[in-house]
Amino acid sequence: MALSKFTLCLGAIALLSSTLCFAHPGFGFGFGWGGGSGGSTGGGGGYSSLFPQFYQFTCPQVDEIILSVLEPTIARNPRMAASLLRLHFHDCFAQGCDASVLLDNGASIVSEKRSFPNINSLRGFEVIDEIKEKLEEACPGVVSCADVVALAARGSVMLSGGPNWELPLGRRDSKTASVSLSNNNIPPPNSTIQNLITLFQRQGLNEVDLVALSGGHTIGVARCFTFKQRLYNQNGNNQPDETLERTYSNELRSMCPPSGGDNNITPLDLASPARFDNAYFKLILWGKGLLTSDEVLLTGRVRKTMELVKAYADDEALFFEQFAKSMVKMGNLGPLTGSNGEVRKNCRRVN
Ligand code: HEM
């Protein structure tokens, strides 16, 4: 299915570097992911000192090496593209795009891998390791893990049939991780629209970024655990979510029984789970957005997000263009540059 798309992209190493440039820098349920009062990454979506040619002289093969790992991996396992895209999002929302999410527990590190949004959920770490090993062979100590994550996310979108864009580079890697920022800054799936807007605003991202980036749910899957309350008890009155389309709701119930089955998975975009397209927005219009956070973009009574869902459902090119721009903005959150941080040798631990 999605394989034909992947084949189309096979000769696309050159594409990854710069051509199609859309963008410029510029649970328990009823809950939240967990406790705590929030915090800021100090991100802001503004311009940063990152630039696309950062590795032009120090590691010109970087794009080629990224693709040499991504192509076979995603061809074998299309979901990995989704997992790598999500990894970048979860990295950037906790402490900025600094590869903090990749750190394992260590003497001074409590790993973000154990936060509510990440535990038993975030994946793709071994693909990042494989890329990093190849990069260390070709250009030792040069390409940061944070840039590897950003490049892997972009490559994954492109190899799934989505847009490509010029990606500013030069991020450095953190020497710290923050479970609390990961818990408090990454929105839970049962978020209200206000919740989503607030958590994105905290990062310097606006409603346009929220809707466009939510379009990342055009690929990948979610566990029953993350949307089950919609099927049985959305508002504490033992009724399903009335915004969820009936047939779809019944299908989901057979996949996710009232008790057990929490780790069963189902596509976020049931129409084309491995293809990066605008079907996600069409499904929302039909009441077939999987997570509460997907459906409230339309039903949350915020005119701006509602209009954007319709616009992206109508016009895939418009979605692609904005997605690319918002990815650049998200990728610019709180990067470490200059002499801050380090370039890790092994993405799982500080040097
Ligand atoms: C707007 C707020 C968001 C919420 C509440 C949210 C929530 C979730 C949840 C609950 C899952 C399923 C996790 C699991 O079952 O273990 C998921 C999966 C995913 N998310 Fe999000 N997400 C949001 C935004 C984003 C953004 C901004 C992106 C990327 C640009 C993204 C990309 C993905 C992808 C690709 C998957 C599938 C991963 C896989 O199959 O491994 N999400 N998201």
What digits encode the pLDDT tens for the residues 173-203?
A: 999 999 999 999 999 999 999 999 999 999 9
Summarize the annotated binding site as residue ranges.
Answer: 91, 96, 98, 100, 112, 187, 217-218, 269, 277
317 in a domain, yes or no? yes
Residue 119 lies in a domain: no
Q: Is residue 206 in some structural domain?
A: no
Domain count across the chain = 1
Name residues of the chain where pLDDT drops below 50.
Answer: 1-31, 33-47
In a domain, 241, yes or no: yes
Q: Report the separation in Å between the CA atom of 351 and the middle of ligand 1, taken as the mean of its atom positions.
A: 30
Tell whether 285 is covered by a domain. Answer: yes
Q: Is residue 315 part of a domain?
A: yes
Residue nearest to atom 12 of ligand 1 (CA): 222
- Residue 3, domain member (yes or no): no
Name the binding residues for heme b. 217
User: What letter represents residue 229's amino acid?
Assistant: Q
Active-site residue, from 5, 79, 88, 90:
90
- For the domain that residue 288 is a member of, what is the CATH number? 1.10.420.10
Residue 173's contacts (CB-CB under 8 Å, 6 or more residues apart) are 98, 99, 144, 145, 146, 336, 341, 342, 343, 344, 347, 350
At 183 the pLDDT is 98
Residue 48 pLDDT: 63
Residue 290's domain spans which residues? 211-324
47: its two tokens: 């311009």
The predicted structure's pLDDT at residue 323: 98
- Pocket-forming residues, ligand 1, beta carbon under 6 Å: 79, 82-83, 85-86, 89, 121, 123, 187-189, 191, 196, 213-214, 216-217, 219-223, 226, 268, 291, 293
pLDDT on residue 7: 32
pTM for the full model? 0.90
For the question of residue 88 being annotated catalytic, the response is no
Q: What pLDDT does 86 receive?
A: 98
Atom 33 of ligand 1, residue of closest alpha carbon: 86
Greatest C-alpha distance within the chain: 62
Residue 224 counted as domain residue: yes
Which atom of ligand 1 is nearest the CA belonging to 223? 15
